[in-house]
Structure 1
Amino acid sequence: MNNLITFLVLCVLSGAVNANTWTVDDDGVADFDNIQTAVDAALDGDEILVMPGTYTSIGGEVINMNGKTVWLHSSNGQAVTIIDGEGVRRGIRCDSGESNMTIVEDFTITACMTGDGGGIYIRNSSPTIINCTITGNTAIGGGGGLFIRDGSPTITNCLITGNTANVDGGGLFIRDGSPTITNCMITDNTANADGGGLSIRTGAPAINQCTIKGNVANLNGGGIFCRDKGNATIMNSMIEDNFAGKIGGGLASDISIPAIGGTRFCGNVPNHIVGTWSNAGGNEFLDLCSAGCPEDIDGNGVVDVVDLLAIISAWGQCVGQKVHIVNQIGFTFFPREIMVTQGDTIRWVWGSGSHTVTSGTLPCGADGLFDGQLEENAPVFEWIVPSATPDFIEYFCNPHCVLDMNGSISVTGIGNNPSGGCPEDIDNSGAVDVTDLLGLISAWGPCG
């Protein structure tokens, strides 16, 4: 709603008082059946509303924004509105002076491949990208997910995961300009050279409240690689479980001096930071990553009423087996791989969209062991690991299996947690009681 209000106010101030709303639907009644035609027809200040579907093209990119000041967004969210490069073209191109009033919101951008910027290419432009999942894209050069050169684009509330660059910047490649990246998850991206999550070469990006996790660089900077005076500001973020083949599992810096504050480094291999950097204070360095705050029972990063209700419903003696939480984040199950014992409970927690948790052979072969729904009306699916079960189980989201939305479960023998085992037992006393309730209340709010 705030985005809409801001958009309309600025449109009025700029003189676009007769803005049109164009609709796009690939298989229904609408003004257009593809997004590019709608962008070509739109005037500055127009709104383009895209219905659920999978959209592609026959050109070099699915969408070229052509410098238009428009609000391009989906009607029903990113989970059901896909920009598909079909493995042969870029997703979105912005290199015609797009301003921050060129807004792209609520799409999944996937299966795109090109030279630089497989998912999104931004040059000499400053568009606003909001609530998008950028996954499974490839760059022959830099920036598997996004390539940014010059300009000041804004990237907010995006999941950038599972992208690959044959050179630098598996998730993002940044050169010059001052992009702002806020509240994004940059996970499980790969660079064959430097910067598994991000490669920053000159420029001054501002990275705030982001999670940079599980990225891989074959050379330097598993999470982030800063070079050639790429002086980033990294604040209030988490840089976790990244890997570099040479140096700087979390961050490697060459000549540049990134400023880092309020950020947690943990589990990075072979080391957290190598090279010059400026300590803005409040940083934490741990060999291993903790599971978060124990009071956050549902694992959503906030101790809130959902956790309180879980305490109440589990009141009393714990049963002695473990409960494993797997969160659905965009098109990712997190953590993707878990180890359990017979008798444990696995609890998948919904984040957005409509998904399934379906056991079977990857990529898309169901075997009937379990099959649950994850959506707004069914936000939790639980499965108790039976005594007679395979020692390795794969599962996937049935509607999104082609997007590599899957996970795996390794099973050992009968398990027992001597300290209680249920996550509601915060103090590990073996019972959910008033001590756990008081601990939850004292930790109320965001974790950390």
Structure 2
Amino acid sequence: MIRTSRIVARALAITALASPLVADPLTVDDDGPADFDSIQAAVDFASDGDVVLVAPGTYTSTDDQVVDLEGKRIHLAATIPGTAIIDGESFRRGVRCRNGETAKTVIEGFVVRNCRASWYDWNDNGAIDFWEYFGGGFWNRDGSSPTIRACLFDGNDAEYGGAILNGDENGSICRPTIVDCAFLDNGSSACLGGAIYNWGAEPEITDCQFIENRGFFGGAVLNFDGSRPEFRDCLFQANTAASDGGAMYNDASSPLVRGCIMEANAAGDEGGAVFNADPGSSAAIPEFIDCDFFSNVANGEGGAIHNFSTSPTLEGCSLRENVASIGGGMHSWNGSNPRLLDTQACGNTPDQIDGPWTDDGGNDIAPACEADCITDLDGDGSTSGADLGLLFVSWGSCGNCPADFNGDGIVDGKDLGVLFIGWGDCD
């Protein structure tokens, strides 16, 4: 199941370029005729408005990062998406933006792999502290807010943000746009935010997949210090936290999470999918709309969601078949009072919701879920090749079609992933 989803994620991450490129671009090829043989040399030469096309190959550097975009408004793109590899060789960062890059700085179609954050003397003491490693694959700081499109981040690591860190110690707000990207196997059991660490940041993250990332807090994502990220139509699957927040850890932050699937994530302690906390003020309000929390596991409390001193809102969500020691669906305490509207909690173990919550209406809380096999499109009692064929017949934009399992109006790779999750006989 997970292997199939990984293949789907890779296929989605390596898409055709989303926008046409202008004539007379600068070209890069590490072993063939081109204007430059390294990405950095092309960036150094480029001017605002230039397009830099990178041929298939593996690109690295002798510097602390493979690429520094230098604040330039350029479009850096792989000629064939998924074949130009930014490789940190396990001891340097992939990409750095530190000069106020805007959305007009675009990086598109790359694989960013094997990157490890280089040392940054955060406290200016001249000594290498174990925690001074930020953003293994990509670091946006000093307000930098580039566009990152159709990239695959695979096997990167850092103390903070295995694949990407947005933010810095200066309090500048980074607002990158991250779309159609896949994050696979990033982080480690000691990492904070296995894939992404948001530090007072406000990124927009759309149509991305987070699969098998690892962290101590936040297996896939950690939002910190008033971060207000927006996640739309993302998949969080099989991410793990050694402690809390298998998929996402929200510390005094107010993310908006809309239309996302959180499935088979796990926490060694609390919050199998999500851990929300704001012990300082209880002012942060995470918001979850039309999200599905399914089959997440916590060894402690809160199989899907754990709330500590914060009161998130859930609207149109489902908490199904999650497992914890207490609060299989959700656990809330220490002043938390989440608000639920049109939300389903069923089939969780040992209970559905533990702790206070406010019923805003339309909720369905039940010990068992009604039989629901949405992937059985032909109604024969199992999800099989026939259903796969029906899904492909509906591929693309659609109205209220049965193959649009996540209800986003499009039958695409995310629905294909849901179909493979349901493969086999219906229960």
Which residue does the alignment assign to 1:130?
149
C-alpha spacing 1:301/1:156, structure 2 compared with 1 (3 Å)? farther
Which residue does the alignment assign to 1:63?
67
Alignment of 1:401-412 (within 5 A): none
| Partner SS, residue 138 of structure 1 | coil
CA deviation profile, 1:34-54 (whole Å, cap 9, x unmatched): 000000000000000000000
In the alignment, the residues of structure 1 paired with residue 109 and residue 78 of structure 2 have an alpha-carbon distance, to the nearest angstrom, of 6
Q: CA deviation at 1:306?
A: 8.0
Alignment of 1:3-152 (within 5 A): 3-4=18-19, 21-78=25-82, 80-114=83-117, 115-123=133-141, 124-139=143-158, 141-149=159-167, 150-152=173-175
C-alpha spacing 1:134/1:301, structure 2 compared with 1 (3 Å)? farther
Question: Which is further off, 276-285 or 156-165?
Answer: 276-285
Q: Which amino acid aligns with 2:45?
A: A
Taking structure 2 as the reference length, the TM-score comes to 0.66
Q: Which amino acid aligns with 1:46?
A: D
Which residue does the alignment assign to 2:359?
none
Q: CA deviation at 1:81?
A: 1.3
In the alignment, the residues of structure 2 paired with residue 74 and residue 105 of structure 1 have an alpha-carbon distance, to the nearest angstrom, of 7
| Partner SS, residue 19 of structure 2 | helix
Which residue does the alignment assign to 2:230?
206
Which residue does the alignment assign to 2:292?
264
| Partner SS, residue 39 of structure 1 | helix
CA contact (8 A) 1:177 1:203 kept: yes
Which residue does the alignment assign to 1:293?
375
C-alpha spacing 1:222/1:130, structure 2 compared with 1 (3 Å)? same
Which residue does the alignment assign to 1:374?
none
In the alignment, the residues of structure 1 paired with residue 389 and residue 275 of structure 2 have an alpha-carbon distance, to the nearest angstrom, of 28
In the alignment, the residues of structure 1 paired with residue 390 and residue 304 of structure 2 have an alpha-carbon distance, to the nearest angstrom, of 26
Which residue does the alignment assign to 1:304?
392
CA deviation profile, 1:226-246 (whole Å, cap 9, x unmatched): 012x10000000011111111
Q: Bigger radius of gyration, 1 or 2?
A: 1
Q: CA deviation at 1:213?
A: 1.0
Q: CA deviation at 1:277?
A: 4.0
Q: CA deviation at 1:221?
A: 0.5
CA RMSD of aligned residues (A): 3.0
C-alpha spacing 1:291/1:111, structure 2 compared with 1 (3 Å)? farther
In the alignment, the residues of structure 2 paired with residue 142 and residue 243 of structure 1 have an alpha-carbon distance, to the nearest angstrom, of 20
| Partner SS, residue 297 of structure 2 | coil
C-alpha spacing 1:23/1:109, structure 2 compared with 1 (3 Å)? same
| Partner SS, residue 104 of structure 1 | strand
- The structure 2 residue matched to 1:273, chosen from 305, 309, 314, is 305
In the alignment, the residues of structure 2 paired with residue 213 and residue 130 of structure 1 have an alpha-carbon distance, to the nearest angstrom, of 20
Which residue does the alignment assign to 1:399?
none
In the alignment, the residues of structure 2 paired with residue 164 and residue 157 of structure 1 have an alpha-carbon distance, to the nearest angstrom, of 20
Which residue does the alignment assign to 1:242?
265
Which residue does the alignment assign to 1:284?
318
Alignment of 1:332-411 (within 5 A): none
CA deviation profile, 1:293-336 (whole Å, cap 9, x unmatched): 133756989823289xxxxxxxxxxxxxxxxxxxxx9xxxx89x
Taking structure 1 as the reference length, the TM-score comes to 0.63
C-alpha spacing 1:206/1:300, structure 2 compared with 1 (3 Å)? farther
| Partner SS, residue 257 of structure 2 | strand
Which residue does the alignment assign to 2:339?
none
Q: CA deviation at 1:427?
A: 8.6
CA deviation profile, 1:372-424 (whole Å, cap 9, x unmatched): xxxxxxxxxxxxxxxxxxxxxxxxxxxxxxxxxxxxxxxxxxxxxxxxxx97x
Q: Which amino acid aligns with 2:376?
A: P
C-alpha spacing 1:300/1:101, structure 2 compared with 1 (3 Å)? farther
| Partner SS, residue 31 of structure 1 | coil
In the alignment, the residues of structure 2 paired with residue 28 and residue 163 of structure 1 have an alpha-carbon distance, to the nearest angstrom, of 31
Pair 1:172-2:196 in alignment:
yes
CA contact (8 A) 1:260 1:277 kept: no
In the alignment, the residues of structure 1 paired with residue 138 and residue 374 of structure 2 have an alpha-carbon distance, to the nearest angstrom, of 32
Q: CA deviation at 1:2?
A: 8.6
| Partner SS, residue 201 of structure 2 | coil
In the alignment, the residues of structure 2 paired with residue 204 and residue 274 of structure 1 have an alpha-carbon distance, to the nearest angstrom, of 19
CA contact (8 A) 2:17 2:108 kept: no
C-alpha spacing 1:88/1:300, structure 2 compared with 1 (3 Å)? farther
Q: CA deviation at 1:176?
A: 1.2
C-alpha spacing 1:247/1:36, structure 2 compared with 1 (3 Å)? same
Q: Which amino acid aligns with 1:95?
A: R
C-alpha spacing 1:159/1:286, structure 2 compared with 1 (3 Å)? same
C-alpha spacing 1:297/1:126, structure 2 compared with 1 (3 Å)? farther
CA deviation profile, 1:181-218 (whole Å, cap 9, x unmatched): 00000110111x20001000021000000001111111
In the alignment, the residues of structure 2 paired with residue 154 and residue 291 of structure 1 have an alpha-carbon distance, to the nearest angstrom, of 35
Which residue does the alignment assign to 1:183?
207
Structure with the larger strand share:
1
In the alignment, the residues of structure 1 paired with residue 46 and residue 67 of structure 2 have an alpha-carbon distance, to the nearest angstrom, of 13
- Stretches of structure 1 that go unaligned for 5 or more consecutive residues are 9-18, 308-328, 336-347, 349-421, 429-448
What is the identity percentage for the equivalent residue pairs of Structure 1 and Structure 2?
33
In the alignment, the residues of structure 2 paired with residue 261 and residue 205 of structure 1 have an alpha-carbon distance, to the nearest angstrom, of 14
Q: How many residues in Structure 1 have an aligned counterpart in Structure 2?
A: 304
Q: CA deviation at 1:93?
A: 0.5
